[in-house]
Amino acid sequence: MNNVFVYLEIEGTTVADVSLELLTKGRKLATRLGCRLEAIAAGSGLDGIEAQVMPYGVDTLHVFDAPGLAPYTSMPHASILINLFKEEKPQVCLMGATVVGRDLGPRVSSALTSGLTADCTALEIGNHEDKRAGKVYKDLLYQIRPAFGGNIVATIINPEHRPQMATVREGVMKKEILDPAYKGETIRHDVAKYVRDTDYVVKVIDRHVEKAKHNLKGAPIVVAGGYGMGSKEGFDMLFELAKELHAEVGASRAAVDAGFADHDRQIGQTGVTVRPKLYIACGISGQIQHIAGMQESGIIISINNDPNAPINSIADYVIEGSVEEVIPKMIKYYKSHTK
Ligand SMILES: Cc1cc2nc3c(=O)[nH]c(=O)nc-3n(C[C@H](O)[C@H](O)[C@H](O)COP(=O)(O)OP(=O)(O)OC[C@H]3O[C@@H](n4cnc5c(N)ncnc54)[C@H](O)[C@@H]3O)c2cc1C
């Protein structure tokens, strides 16, 4: 009762990174709230899940293991969460802002009339005073995310309804093992008690999962281009530089919209979140929606011909100049120094 729950996204028999990131965050929230961290695994052939998640500080793992639960379909997974939450009455529920989380979260929150904040960029615990009602709500989940087109960063609270539900994109939270020897309890549930036969009405007959063409999320160095790169050919320079640095190429939304780069390379609020050791922003102004996806980078270098570009204020190093001039020099330098 009153614990923090994380829904585990499972591909085959492997827990997705976003869920491990949320367990890390969930552990911190549970410790702060003085409650337990609980995780839900629903799928098929889940014997290995315990070993994957316990080191993140899970106190209770709820396992629902049945052939019809993998691959994911909406109704059985929604029934599991709705019925389990009716029994367990969690105070917080977190899930990935993924295709699965975006399908599952709203179904669960509407069935429980709990509300949900999508795409949070930070989660904290704090109080809220409703001055008009003369009421103080203690230890609420602050669900923080950009709002109104990114013009403000809003803190959203849900004082009255439970669970307080939030989704978070992959890469936004940090994944960190708490203790490799951490051992919580595992409860294996009777799936039939939670899922009706009619919930299995949708059957997945065939599935094609396309592998990502690049490793932008995991790259230690990202060379990112913006609208200032001027063209698709301008991006060719970035690919050349990235090759020399063993880096991946990212892009701003303006560059993607202009057709300079593929959509799956977009970094930011509506793209991927990266936290490389080194981020080189080339011709990117640094609007809040872009910064939301890269501000946790170790070192940020900005190459921009505008000394007042907003990105310069968060950059560790600023190279003032045009990308056409600076980037070929960098390529030439690295070519002659990395052989
Ligand atoms: C709901 C919403 C979600 C969004 N999500 C995202 C998102 O996920 N990711 C994202 O990136 N944006 C996102 N945006 C868009 C965002 O607001 C900006 O429009 C976008 O990030 C701007 O991209 P940019 O910096 O490449 O372009 P610009 O803002 O046009 O900046 C170009 C920069 O290049 C510099 N420049 C120009 N020419 C040169 C040159 N020759 N050499 C050097 N520098 C040069 C300019 O000085 C300028 O700083 C979103 C917007 C909204 C409303």
pLDDT in tens, 321-336: 999 999 999 999 999 8
Residue 213: pLDDT band with limits 50, 70, 90: confident
Same domain, 229 and 187: no
Distance 256 CA to ligand 1 centre (A): 10
Same domain, residue pair 64 and 181: yes
- Mean pLDDT, the chain, integer: 95
Q: Please indicate, yes or no, if residue 95 is contained in any of the structural domains.
A: yes
pLDDT band per the 50, 70, 90 thresholds, residue 6:
very high
Q: Is the pLDDT of residue 178 over 70?
A: yes
Identify the residue whose C-alpha is closest to ligand 1 atom 31: 285
Kindly report whether the peptide bond that precedes residue 71 is cis, defined as omega within 30 degrees of 0.
yes
Domain boundary among the residues 201, 233, 252 is at 201
Quick check: CB of 287 below 6 Å from ligand 1? yes
Range of the domain at 296: 221-337
The pTM of the full predicted model, rounded to 2 decimals, is 0.84
314 belongs to a structural domain: yes
Distance 15 CA to ligand 1 centre (A): 34
The answer to whether residue 231 is domain-embedded is yes
109 and 165 belong to one structural domain: yes
Residue range 44-99, pLDDT digits in tens = 999 999 999 999 999 999 999 999 999 999 999 999 999 999 999 999 999 999 99
- 246 alpha carbon – ligand 1 mean position (Å): 24
Give the contacts of 124 (CB within 8 A, at least 6 positions apart). Answer: 141, 142, 144
Instruction: Check: CB of residue 109 under 8 Å from CB of residue 166.
Output: no
Q: Residue 101: CB within 6 Å of ligand 1?
A: no
Check whether residue 310 and residue 181 sit in a common domain.
Answer: no
Pair 187, 114 in one domain: yes
Amino acid 212: pLDDT: 77
pLDDT in tens, 231-254: 999 999 999 999 999 999 999 999
Per-residue pLDDT at 151: 77
What domain count does the chain have?
Answer: 2
For 17, residues 6+ apart whose C-beta sits below 8 A from its C-beta are: 170, 171, 175
Minimal CA–CA distance to 167: which of 125, 108, 218?
A: 108
Structural domain includes residue 182: yes
Q: How far is CA 252 from CA 19, 162, 166, 179, 259, in A?
A: 26, 37, 26, 37, 11
- Do residues 101 and 238 share a domain? no
Q: What is the pLDDT of residues 141-150, one digit of tens each?
A: 999 998 887 7
- 194 with 61, same domain? yes
User: 285: CA distance to ligand 1 center in Å?
Assistant: 5
Kindly state the percentage of the chain with pLDDT values over 90. 89
Q: Judge if the beta carbon of residue 291 lies within 6 A of ligand 1.
A: no
Whether 191 is in a domain gets the answer yes
**pLDDT at residue 225 greater than cutoff 90:** yes
Q: Look at residue 318 and tell me if it is in a domain.
A: yes
